């Protein structure tokens, strides 16, 4: 399906998607970083248009924005690598 773009369009993002990108932070650096990730993810999934729902799913997959959003610290193992001591 051919899409013609008008001046000011941000293809492949809908207006709602752009609004959703700016909602968590107004930092241009963060918005551009997240938009790039969305374009890469959209290309991998062969998506033609990125809407607000796609932005929300992507941002949720990234995880918390700040350390305060992480929640309480949970004790875990000292290493996450494989145990090579068994030979």
Please give the Cα distance from 21 to 40 (Å, whole number). 15
13: helix, coil or strand?
strand
Question: For the chain, which residues score pLDDT lower than 50?
Answer: 1-2, 5, 7, 69-73
Q: What is the pLDDT of residue 1?
A: 46
Q: What is the DSSP letter of 82?
A: -
Bridge partner residues of 13 (DSSP)? 50
Residue extents of the structural domains in the chain: 10-65
Residue pair 81/47 in contact by the 8 Å Cβ criterion: no
Structure tokens at 4: 């013609």
pTM above 0.85, yes or no: no
Q: Which CATH architecture has domain 10-65?
A: Orthogonal Bundle (1.10)
User: How far, in Å, CA of 63 to CA of 29, rounded?
Assistant: 18
């Amino acid at each position: 399906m051919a899409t013609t773009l008008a001046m000011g369009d941000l293809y492949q993002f809908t207006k709602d998607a752009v609004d959703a990108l700016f909602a968590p932070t107004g930092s241009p650096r963060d918005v551009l970083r997240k938009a790039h990730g969305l374009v890469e993810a959209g290309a991998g999934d062969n998506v033609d248009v990125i809407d607000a729902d796609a932005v929300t799913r992507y941002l949720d997959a990234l995880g918390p924005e700040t350390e305060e959003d992480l929640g309480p610290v949970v004790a875990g193992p000292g290493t996450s690598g494989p145990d090579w001591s068994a030979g």
